[in-house]
Structure 1
Amino acid sequence: MTPPLPSSAFDISTSSSDSSCPFCHIAQTYPPFSPLSPPPSTSPLVSPTLTSPAPQTFVVLSTPLLIAFLDIMPLSQGHLLLCPRSHAPKLTDASASEARELGYYLRILSAAVARATDVKDWNVVQNNGMAAAQVVEHMHFHVIPRPGMRVKERFTSTMFGRGQREDLEEDEGAELAGMIRECVGEVLKEEGERERNGKL
């Protein structure tokens, strides 16, 4: 079942945050919007420059509990991050309600990214602590599309941990984020239709 969004105005200022955390900054900057009818790329609600002078942010999902955005140095096109709005250094620091919504939207975002990029294979990765390669101390999941090619009946793909790792261009990021937002809405509407027809 699609998690309902409160009908009242969202107040994200009450979330716990760390002023030195870039993900907390993003979470405090971008207000929630309905994933069923996301704003277009031209909307000020999702303007990449709101986080200026920090790196631009390309938001793909923004709920009262979670926020997802494109990785600014992607391993592949469509590489995105999903995290709780509240500061939670590791997965075990996330609340039960955040964990439920993270699980729900990981599946929805995976389907949306596959649809937007036309890449049908992907990794979901989550690191906890420095020894586990966590760079930003705010728990987050990576959804990383894995394009590959068939070579003589053997499937090859980019090795995990290697990829383009180039800065995401503003025009490309805005367009891709818009496509993923639209695909999230499509996936949610299709799931709602299947629920109504008793197929889920």
Structure 2
Amino acid sequence: MSPKPSSPASSRVPLPCSDFDPGQPSSSSSSNASSSSPTNTTDTVPDCPFCHIASTYPPYDPSNPPPSTSPLLSSEATFPQPATFMILSTPLLIGFLDIMPLSQGHILLCPRAHRPKLTDVRPAEAAELGRYLRVLSAAVAKATGVPDWNVVQNNGAAAAQVVPHMHFHVIPRPELRDKKSERFTSTMFGRGQRDELDDDEGLELAEKIRRAVAEVARGDAEGPKL
């Protein structure tokens, strides 16, 4: 991977990649990419962090993802914001690791174009979201070894949506039933202590999940074995 500009973690500009903030809710198709330049999207909002990611990272073929060393995944373009660890990038969708994960492998999936709520999503995007929610769920379970997970999607500030760009959360759920019920409930609904994703860990984990996505996508293309 191209070297990333060095910057102390404390000087980073936080990128709000999750609706699951501790405390109260805020008020506020597969394709081969022939070019390394970002996709031009007319439906963008300049100050939206997810639109920024969408305009920075071009599509690639999910069944044949580029390695972490590829310029397609270079994080230099997002500096001085935290690195974005891409999991999926199609002409219609982007998927990436949450920078404040609830668990290892917590990812976000959203339309490439700016769609504030689920009801704003176009039919083709909705079909693609449904398809890749299943693919990403299978890939995250395979990559993390955690067989249980949540799929969560919030609409509007009252529903705890922080970033007004529609997105799904896929959150692996390690075994928690042996914990106190209060701790389980707190973790289940996204409150409590959360740590920022480590860059080295994010790089390794994203590569692992991308490989798992490719496995699932190739399996889908081949169809069931008779």
Long gaps (5+) in structure 2: 1-28
Q: Which of the two has greater strand per residue?
A: 1
Q: CA shift at 1:49, angstroms?
A: 3.2
Q: Structure 2 CA distance, aligned partners of 1:8 and 1:55?
A: 27
The 1:151–1:130 alpha-carbon spacing in structure 2 relative to 1, beyond 3 Å, is closer
2:194 maps to which of 160, 165, 184: 165
**Residue in 1 aligned with 2:118?**
91
Q: Structure 2 CA distance, aligned partners of 1:75 and 1:143?
A: 10
The 1:132–1:149 alpha-carbon spacing in structure 2 relative to 1, beyond 3 Å, is closer
Q: Structure 2 CA distance, aligned partners of 1:53 and 1:21?
A: 15
Q: Structure 2 CA distance, aligned partners of 1:135 and 1:51?
A: 20
Q: Deviations over 1:54-73 (max 9, x none)?
A: 22100000000000000000
Q: CA shift at 1:150, angstroms?
A: 5.7
Q: Deviations over 1:139-179 (max 9, x none)?
A: 00000000015649xxx954331365211111100110010
2:217 maps to which of 174, 184, 188: 188
Provide the identity percentage.
64
Q: Which amino acid in 1 is paired with 2:99? A: I
Q: TM-score, normalised by structure 2?
A: 0.79
1:58 maps to which of 85, 96, 100: 85
Q: How many residues are paired up?
A: 193
Q: Structure 1 CA distance, aligned partners of 2:122 and 2:54?
A: 16
SS across alignment from 2:188: coil
Q: Structure 2 CA distance, aligned partners of 1:120 and 1:178?
A: 19
1:49 maps to which of 76, 80, 87: 76
**Residue in 2 aligned with 1:5?**
31
Counterparts of 1:1-200 in structure 2, within 5 Å, are 3-5=29-31, 12-149=39-176, 151=178, 158-162=187-191, 164-195=193-224, 197=225
The 1:134–1:52 alpha-carbon spacing in structure 2 relative to 1, beyond 3 Å, is same
Q: TM-score, normalised by structure 1?
A: 0.88
Q: How much is the aligned-residue C-alpha RMSD, in angstroms?
A: 2.3
Q: CA shift at 1:185, angstroms?
A: 0.3
Q: CA shift at 1:191, angstroms?
A: 2.1
